[in-house]
C-alpha cells in the first residue's frame, strides 16, 4: 500500500509525465490514504514496479463512489485503515510487466479493481461475485498518480479504452458492472414498471441502464430538489419526492393500483429497505442494492412475504460476464453516462470532493491527478 519513508505532502509538485518524455522511470508519486474516518492524507510513496503479468497505470481519472463516502464517514469492512483509497479509475499504461501481451506502455485502459480466482467453491457455481480472492484482494489506491494492477485483474478484467470514450466515462466500468449484475439478477423485462428508490449516483446508473433496456415505465423516488431534477433529466418517466406525505399513495397507484413490479433500493439505509418492501406489488421483486451499515437488521412481515409472493434479492458485486456487459454498454454509448459525473477536482483537493458529496452537490466527482 505505502512504503517506508512516506511523508505527508500538502500540495506536492508534479513533474512532467514520464510518458511525455517517452521513457518511464521509477520515482515518487502521490497516493491518498484514508487514515481514519474523516481524515485523508496525501502521501508521497515510491512508484511500484510491475512484476510478471502486472500493469502500472498512470491514473487519468478516478471517480468518487458511494462506498468511498461510506468509508470516509464511518469506516468500511472492505477498507481496513489506513487504506489506500479509490477504486474506480481509468488511465494509461506506464509500464507493463513481463509476460503481458495484451497491453503495452501508452495504451489507454479501463478496468475493475477485482477479478475472481476461477477455481474456488463459489467460482465453480457461477457466483464469481462471492469469490473470496476477488473481494479480499480488491485493488485500492486509485486516488493517486499511479496504480498497480495485479496479474489476475490484467488478465480477466482490464480492457482497452475505446478512443471515443472519455477517461471519465471509462472509469464508470466498476459501478456499472455492479448495476448490470443487479439488473441481470432481477430479470427485469421491458413491459414492467420499475421503481428506483434513492437518487444518488447508483440510483441514476440504474435509471440509465433501465432506460437503455427499453423498460416501459421508470419511476425514481428520492429527495432533494436538485437530485430529483437530475433524475428527471437522466430519463425517469416520473419523479416522486420521497419526503412528500402522499409519496406512498402515489407509488401505490402505479400499474393501475397494483404498485411497481420491481423495486430497486439504492439508499443503503434501513428506511429505504423498509420502503422498498412496503411498496412492491404482490408477486413483485425487490432488489436491495444499497448495503446498509454493519449490524442493521430488517424485520420482514412473513405473511406479506409469503402470501404476497415477494421475491427478495440482494445482489453484491459482479461476475466477469457483468464486467464485459458493462464494457459493451459504455463502448456502444450509454446515454447520460457523462452527465452522472458532474464535478471535477484535482487530487490535491480530495477533501473537497467528500465535502461536495456530503452536501449532495455532486453525483460523481472526477478526481484528476
In angstroms, what is the minimal distance from the CB of 334 to Zn ion? 16
CA separation (Å) from 297 to 265, 293, 333?
Answer: 16, 10, 39
In angstroms, what is the minimal distance from the CB of 222 to Zn ion? 19
- Beta bridge pairs of residue 45: 29
Distance between CA atoms of residues 65 and 192, nearest Å: 29
- Residue 204's nearest CA partner among 110, 342, 313 is 342
Options 64-72, 93-101, 141-149, 208-216: segment touching Zn ion (CB under 5 A): 64-72
Decide if residue 86 touches Zn ion (CB under 5 A).
no
Q: Tell me whether residue 124 is exposed, middle or buried, using C-beta atoms within 10 angstroms of its C-beta: 0 to 12, 13 to 18, 19 or more.
A: exposed
Decide if residue 247 touches Zn ion (CB under 5 A).
no
- Residue 41's nearest CA partner among 312, 259, 351 is 351
Options 127-135, 198-206, 209-217, 350-358: segment touching Zn ion (CB under 5 A): 127-135
CA separation (Å) from 280 to 149, 184, 217?
Answer: 41, 18, 14
In angstroms, what is the minimal distance from the CB of 91 to Zn ion? 16
- Whichever of 200 and 369 has its CB closer to Zn ion, that residue is 200
- Given a contact cutoff of 8 angstroms between Cβ atoms, the answer to whether 205 and 180 are in contact is no
- Whichever of 67 and 140 has its CB closer to Zn ion, that residue is 67
Decide if residue 116 touches Zn ion (CB under 5 A).
yes
Decide if residue 313 touches Zn ion (CB under 5 A).
no
Decide if residue 120 touches Zn ion (CB under 5 A).
yes
- Beta bridge pairs of residue 62: 89, 367
Decide if residue 62 touches Zn ion (CB under 5 A).
no
In angstroms, what is the minimal distance from the CB of 166 to Zn ion? 18
Site for Zn ion (CB under 5 A): which residue of 55, 100, 123, 173? 123
In angstroms, what is the minimal distance from the CB of 297 to Zn ion? 25
Options 19-27, 81-89, 96-104, 338-346: segment touching Zn ion (CB under 5 A): 81-89
Decide if residue 323 touches Zn ion (CB under 5 A).
no
Q: Helix, strand, or coil here: 189?
A: coil
- Given a contact cutoff of 8 angstroms between Cβ atoms, the answer to whether 89 and 142 are in contact is yes
Q: Helix, strand, or coil here: 187?
A: coil
Decide if residue 131 touches Zn ion (CB under 5 A).
yes
Decide if residue 65 touches Zn ion (CB under 5 A).
yes
- Given a contact cutoff of 8 angstroms between Cβ atoms, the answer to whether 323 and 218 are in contact is no
In angstroms, what is the minimal distance from the CB of 178 to Zn ion? 7
Kindly identify the residues of this chain, within the stretch 160-219, that bind Zn ion according to CB under 5 A: 175
Distance between CA atoms of residues 319 and 151, nearest Å: 17
- Whichever of 114 and 193 has its CB closer to Zn ion, that residue is 114
Site for Zn ion (CB under 5 A): which residue of 19, 26, 81, 117? 117
Residues in contact with Zn ion by CB under 5 A are 65, 67, 88, 116-117, 120, 123, 131, 175
Amino acid at each position: 500500500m505505502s512504503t517506508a519513508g512516506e511523508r505527508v505532502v500538502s500540495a506536492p509538485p508534479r513533474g512532467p509525465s514520464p510518458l511525455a518524455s517517452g521513457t518511464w522511470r521509477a520515482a515518487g508519486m502521490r497516493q491518498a490514504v484514508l487514515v481514519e474516518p474523516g481524515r485523508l492524507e496525501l502521501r508521497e510513496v515510491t512508484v511500484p514496479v510491475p512484476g510478471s503479468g502486472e500493469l502500472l497505470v498512470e491514473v487519468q481519472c478516478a471517480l468518487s463512489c458511494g462506498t468511498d463516502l461510506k468509508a470516509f464517514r464511518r469506516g468500511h469492512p472492505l477498507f481496513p485503515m489506513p487504506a489506500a483509497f479509490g477504486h474506480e479509475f481509468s488511465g494509461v499504461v506506464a509500464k507493463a510487466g513481463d509476460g503481458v501481451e495484451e497491453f503495452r506502455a501508452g495504451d489507454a485502459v479501463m478496468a475493475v479493481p477485482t477479478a475472481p480466482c476461477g477455481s474456488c467453491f463459489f467460482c465453480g457455481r457461477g457466483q464469481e461475485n462471492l469469490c473470496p480472492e476477488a473481494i479480499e484482494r480488491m485493488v485500492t489506491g486509485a486516488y493517486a498518480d499511479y496504480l498497480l494492477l495485479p496479474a489476475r485483474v490484467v488478465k480477466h478484467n482490464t480492457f482497452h479504452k475505446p478512443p471515443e470514450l472519455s477517461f471519465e466515462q471509462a472509469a464508470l466500468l466498476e459501478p456499472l458492472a455492479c448495476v448490470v449484475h443487479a439488473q441481470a439478477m432481477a430479470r427485469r423485462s421491458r413491459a414492467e414498471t420499475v421503481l428506483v428508490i434513492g437518487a444518488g449516483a447508483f440510483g441514476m446508473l440504474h435509471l440509465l441502464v433501465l432506460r437503455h433496456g427499453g423498460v416501459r415505465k421508470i419511476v425514481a423516488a428520492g429527495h432533494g430538489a436538485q437530485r430529483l431534477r437530475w433524475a428527471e433529466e437522466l430519463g425517469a418517466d416520473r419523479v416522486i419526492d420521497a419526503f412528500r406525505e402522499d409519496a406512498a399513495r402515489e407509488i401505490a397507484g402505479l400499474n393501475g393500483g397494483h404498485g411497481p413490479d420491481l423495486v430497486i433500493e439504492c439508499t443503503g439505509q434501513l428506511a429505504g429497505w423498509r420502503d422498498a418492501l412496503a411498496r412492491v406489488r404482490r408477486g413483485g421483486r425487490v432488489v436491495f442494492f444499497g448495503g446498509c451499515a454493519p449490524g442493521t437488521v430488517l424485520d420482514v412481515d412473513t405473511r406479506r412475504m409469503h402470501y404476497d409472493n415477494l421475491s427478495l434479492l440482494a445482489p453484491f458485486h459482479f461476475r466477469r460476464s457483468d464486467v464485459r456487459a458493462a464494457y459493451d454498454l459504455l463502448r456502444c454509448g450509454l446515454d447520460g453516462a457523462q452527465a452522472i459525473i458532474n464535478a471535477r477536482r484535482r487530487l490535491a483537493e480530495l477533501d473537497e470532493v467528500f465535502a461536495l458529496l456530503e452536501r449532495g452537490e455532486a453525483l460523481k466527482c472526477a478526481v484528476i491527478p
